[in-house]
Amino acid sequence: MASIWNNRISVSVFGEAKGPAIGVTVDNLPPGEFIDLLKLRQFMERRTPGVHESNDFVQVMSGIMNDRTTGSPLCAFIQNTEQTEPDLSLLNRLPRPGHGDYTGTLRYRGFNDIRDGGHISERMTLPLCFAGAVCGQILERRGIYVGAHALEIHGIRDKEFDNVNVDKDDILAVRYKNMPVISNAAGKKMFADIRAAEEGGETLGGVIECAAVNVPAGIGSPVFDGIENTIAQLLFGIPGIRGLEFGAGFQAAKMVGSQNNDSFYVNDHGHIRTSSNNHGGILGGISSGMPIILRVAFQPPASLGIRQESINLSTMSTEPIAAEKSADACTIPKYVPCVEACVSIALLSHLLDYPHFTG
């Protein structure tokens, strides 16, 4: 399985949703970086609220000693606390709509672990979050902050980040909210809509907006190793993504060139800036010094509390599949830190090539 991402930094996730544990190995992190384990747990708590009270939920096996990176591969295990066994006979013959049961069975000739999706599970975003939380701390020691919020859930829309002036304070103001939104009024409406969907057995999708601020100009590369390329490759490791845009995104297709181009100027501090930020902080695959802005669209979770139709793979006939209780009627709130994690890994990987980066 393609579970290793390698681009200066190497991230390898392992395990299966119903196995004893899942985990991650991160290699080529700079040595001597201070890692605050309490902040790591706080970051993971945003992904899975309520399960991180125990210090042994995440076990760091190597790579950190005396709260600093050692330079050797950082390996962490995350215990799977729920070991309930699903009906394997049912999953073997009735692939669930919207899941990877059918395609995974074809790809791995029926030998794949199908319990709760096995390796093709949203639970694999947990080790990805851990890796991103470590990278995020290394970035923040250099003044670079990555933050995201729920921009939209089922048509209910939050305020957008100011794509020119978003700063560290804007990011931190959202980070630890129960519903990660800029507008609390929008967040209340989102909570209510999620509860209504859950009561009706339905699920909801949405859009996450992410910003990275104080990224120095000049990191990244053109063509195949641009910042957008790196971020996109990591983001699509999160299940359920159906769209990604940077800056003005698809709205740029509706503009003429003079509207889309961002004019350069020199600010009062002698720094080159742009008056607008339709380019989303990236030009030619390389950072411009403006905030990096992106938005990610997610489909609704596939597990529904209503009956659906499937195909019995034994008889090749249509057969109803029973309602199943979804762990989340909407994954947008817990995927906000996942998006941040992917962007943090991508940016740190490019910063390792930056001339002024110091370990």
Query: What's the pLDDT at 19?
Result: 77
For residue 76, pLDDT over 90 is answered with: yes
C-alpha distances (whole Å) from 333 to each of 3, 55, 340 are: 24, 23, 12
Is residue 72 within 8 A of residue 60, CB to CB? The reply is no
pLDDT digits (tens, 9 = 90+) for 252-269: 999 999 999 999 999 999
Mean pLDDT, rounded, for 98-108: 75
Mean pLDDT, rounded, for 303-312: 81
**pLDDT classification of 48: cutoffs 50, 70, 90:** confident
**pLDDT classification of 90: cutoffs 50, 70, 90:** low
Residues β-bridged to residue 74: 26
For residue 119, pLDDT over 70 is answered with: no
Query: What's the pLDDT at 108?
Result: 72
**DSSP assignment letter at 289:** S
Where along the chain do its domains lie?
Answer: 4-351
Query: What's the pLDDT at 102?
Result: 78
Name the CATH superfamily for 4-351. Answer: Chorismate synthase AroC (3.60.150.10)
Q: Which of 109-113, 174-178, 343-347 has the highest mean pLDDT?
A: 343-347
Find how far residue 123's CA is from the centre of its chain: 12
For residue 1, pLDDT over 90 is answered with: no
In what helix (H) or strand (E) does residue 80 lie, and over which residues does it extend?
none
For 306-348, the three-class secondary structure string (H helix, E strand, C coil) is CCEEEEECCCCEEEEECCCCCCCCECHHHHHHHHHHHHHHHHH
Q: Which one, of 178, 250, 241, lies nearest residue 206 by Cα?
A: 241
Q: What angle do CA 254, 275, 164 make, to 5 degrees?
A: 85
Report the share of the chain in percent with pLDDT over 90.
Answer: 70
Mean pLDDT, rounded, for 90-114: 72
Taken as a whole, the chain contains a residue count of: 359
Tell me which of 5-14, 110-119, 290-299, 337-346 is least confident.
110-119
Query: 291: helix, coil or strand?
Result: coil
